[in-house]
Amino acid sequence: MRKPLLLRTSFGKEEIEAAKKVLSSGILSDFIGNAGEKFLGGKYVKGLEAAYCRKFNVKYAVAMSSAATALHAAIAALGIGPGDEVILPPITMSATATAILLNNAVPVFADIEKETICIDPQSIEDKITKRTKAIMVVALYGQGANLPKIMKIAKKYRLRVIEDNAQSPGAKIGKDFVGTIGDVGIFSLNCHKVINCGEGGVLVTNNARIAYRAQLVRNHGEVVLDDLKDRDTVIFGTNYRLTELQAAVAIEQFKKLDFLNNWRIELADYLTSKLRNFKGIILPDTKPGFTHVYYQYPMRFIKKEVGIKRQTFAKALRAEGFPLGEGWVQPLYFFPIYQRGTIYKEKINCPFECKYYDGKVDYRKGLCPAAEDLCNKELMLTGICAWPLTKKHIDLFVTAIKKIFDNLEELKLYERKTKKC
């Protein structure tokens, strides 16, 4: 058995020097919750925001304490609240949906397209009601959803589009960066993402009003409305601020984004070329014009064609030293908060049942068949296509897969034996 591969972070002397500089300055955060210059943070926070604006060609960037808080700020900035519905896919991180619940709006789950694993435009259209205010689109594992179609639907029904792009910074559709196509997009700087500063997030938009409102949410906005002579804006905030220390590290990480993405793309393309001939393993499907940045390398396992269970396949691969994700999260509506309909306290079902909400939630199992099927039976994920791993590691991975395919009869026998006892 090979030792499992451990991935290293991409921190180098640049991040360490940047952090030291901030520590020596003594100013670890430079926000003040009053109207004035420091309402918008210190020089590293502003520097990080400027870097996002330049790179992604957007007018406004607002650094946040995480992508999860940035998602909530986006919901609040759009004025989405009690009685409103937001459509989103069920295969995503829990925070995509809880951002909606935090403003007492109702998440409505639309199914996914199996080919891209992202939200299915047709299913979105089927779920639109008079209560729908926005579509939350998630770019999963490094590839954008079918945004050209989704933007058309949004226009037709006058809906806002929020892009959860925590996983796919640098992904593109045509010339446009994913995360900048909808009304507002968010990025993550969490330690598990392609680039990180421990925890952090960035919200981007071309809409001045959305940016302003997000800034208010980030820094106790209710406090400054009087000073800004803005008594009409309905909003309140909390503390979603990024520190100078985090921002300084994030600025250095952000400079490495293209390098890290290109590394991933090269390894992923190489892996795809090596896996083409294994029957029953469906490789990532990149639509024409879409740039995939391979936060993960997703594959679909077709049991009928391979002849063994996904579980057996994954176990055998693990024994060769290559961990493999079987599925990822369960479809979010399986979680108890949706099944029981309680998020605040026992017997209170707000916002799923509430005097402002005249819809009826539907979170039964079977709601999104493609998503459920994909999670339970088909999806396999590997993080092997990432710096500092090389084609040599990919070759070992492919050799391990080949070994499994060479021993399918034995594995079938193993399945039959383990079933009996």
Ligand X SMILES: *Cc1c(COP(=O)(O)O)cnc(C)c1O
CB within 8 Å of 221: residues ≥ 6 apart: 213, 215, 235, 236, 237
Q: How far is the CB of 92 from ligand X (least distance, A)?
A: 5
Q: How far is the CB of 117 from ligand X (least distance, A)?
A: 12
Write down the least CB distance from residue 346 to ligand X, Å: 28
Peptide bond into 351 cis (omega under 30): yes
Pick 167 or 382: Cβ nearer ligand X? 167
Shortest distance, position 69 Cβ to ligand X, whole Å: 7
Q: Of the listed pieces 13-21, 62-70, 82-90, 263-271, which binds ligand X according to CB under 6 A?
A: 62-70
Token readout for 203 is: 């919200």
Residue with tokens 């992508």: 67
Sequence-ordered list of residues with C-beta below 8 angstroms from that of 37, at least 6 positions apart, any chain = none
Distance (Å, rounded) from C-alpha 159 to C-alpha 264?
Answer: 34
Q: Is 167 in the site for ligand X (CB under 6 A)?
A: yes
In whole angstroms, the minimum distance from the beta carbon of 4 to ligand X comes to 22
Distance CA(342)–CA(351), nearest Å, equals: 9
Q: How far is the CB of 319 from ligand X (least distance, A)?
A: 28
Centroid of chain to Cα 287: 19
On the 0-12 / 13-18 / 19+ scale of CB atoms within 10 A, 26 is exposed
- Is 327 an interacting residue with respect to ligand X (CB under 6 A)? no
Shortest Å, Cβ 189 to ligand X? 6
**Any idea what the Cα angle at residue 283 is, between residues 278 and 286, rounded to 5°?**
150
The minimum distance between CB 420 and ligand X, in angstroms, equals: 40
Identify which of residues 42 and 201 has a Cβ nearer to ligand X in the complex: 201
The tokens 């598990």 sit on which residue? 192
Interface mask (CB under 6 A) for ligand X, residues 191-210, using x and -?
----------x---------
Select from 80, 166, 281, 404 the one that contacts ligand X (CB under 6 A).
Answer: 166
Contact track, ligand X, 8-47, x by CB under 6 A: ----------------------------------------
Give the residue with the Cβ less far from ligand X, 39 or 237: 237
Nearer to ligand X, 39 or 182 (CB): 182
Q: Which of residues 64-103 bind ligand X (CB under 6 A)?
A: 66-68, 92-93, 95-96
Size of site (CB under 6 A) for ligand X: 14
Distances (CA, A) of 391 to 142, 265, 283, 397: 20, 12, 18, 10
Contact segment (CB under 6 A) with ligand X among 13-21, 60-68, 104-112, 324-332 equals 60-68
Q: If DSSP codes are grouped into helix, strand and coil, which group holds residue 290?
A: strand
User: CA–CA separation, 197 vs 191, rounded Å?
Assistant: 7
**Of 103 and 190, which has the nearer Cβ to ligand X?**
190
Closest C-alpha to 198, from 45, 24, 73, 67: 67
Is the CB of 95 or the CB of 306 nearer to ligand X? Answer: 95
Q: Are 233 and 80 in contact (CB under 8 A)?
A: no
Q: Is residue 5 within 8 Å of residue 395, measured between CB atoms?
A: no
- Most distant pair of Cα atoms in the chain: their distance: 75
Asked if residue 168 binds ligand X (CB under 6 A), the reply is no
Nearest to 61 by CA among 41, 31, 91, 75: 41
Contact in structure between 304 and 298 (CB atoms under 8 Å): no
Chain residues 347-386 in contact with ligand X, contact rule CB under 6 A:
none
Binding to ligand X (CB under 6 A): which residues in 126-165?
Answer: 138, 164
Residue with tokens 């729908």: 132
Torsion of CA 238, 242, 243, 245, to 10 degrees: 170
Binds ligand X by CB under 6 A, chosen from 10, 29, 188, 312: 188
Name the strand (E) or helix (H) holding 314. helix 310-319
* Residue 404 CB, nearest approach to ligand X (Å): 29
In the complex, the smallest distance separating the C-beta of residue 62 from ligand X, rounded to whole angstroms, is: 14
CB of 94 vs ligand X, minimal distance in Å: 8
Do residues 299 and 293 touch, judged by C-beta distance below 8 A? Answer: no
Which of residues 328 and 357 has its CB atom nearest to ligand X in the complex? Answer: 328
Residue with tokens 């109702």: 106
Binding site for ligand X (CB under 6 A): 66-68, 92-93, 95-96, 138, 164, 166-167, 188, 190, 201
